[in-house]
């Protein structure tokens, strides 16, 4: 009985410290040009919206003429599910013809998420 109580107390303390460690060990945010393209602050002139799809998530990005390349633009989604990470290339869109859409599609047991994105010109 004493071993069970000791094991329960040890696991409770472990969970408490494991949950508190990532918050205190997180690096301080810094301002850099790379942070301008984060999902929280999209690229200047571009506006992104995430939405759910079956077994995943998608992002639609609309850019002004000055934000993309000479002919148009496309979004590249940074997808993740569990320990797997990959890029999903979105549709090429000429300026003035709607958003570029990239989809992160997972499987039946693992839903995929958009962890970030960037816009490339064409």
pLDDT for 51-100, tens place per residue?
Answer: 999 999 999 999 876 655 578 889 999 999 988 999 999 999 988 788 99
The rounded mean pLDDT for the chain is 75
Burial of 36 (0-12, 13-18, 19+ CB in 10 A): exposed
pLDDT score of 107: 85
Structural contact between residues 100 and 87, judged by C-beta atoms closer than 8 angstroms:
no
Task: Tell me, yes or no, if the pTM score tops 0.85.
Answer: no
Which H or E element spans position 79?
Answer: strand 72-81
């Amino acid at each position: 009985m004493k071993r069970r109580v000791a094991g329960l107390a040890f696991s409770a303390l472990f969970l408490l410290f494991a949950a508190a460690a990532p918050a205190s060990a997180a690096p301080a945010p810094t301002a850099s040009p790379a942070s301008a393209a984060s999902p929280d602050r999209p690229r200047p002139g571009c506006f992104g919206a995430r939405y759910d799809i079956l077994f995943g998530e998608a992002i639609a990005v609309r850019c002004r003429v000055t934000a993309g390349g000479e002919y148009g633009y496309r979004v590249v989604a940074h997808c993740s599910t569990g320990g797997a990470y990959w890029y999903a290339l979105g549709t090429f869109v000429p300026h003035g013809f709607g958003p570029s859409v990239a989809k992160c599609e997972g499987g039946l047991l693992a839903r995929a998420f958009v962890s970030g994105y960037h816009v490339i010109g064409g």
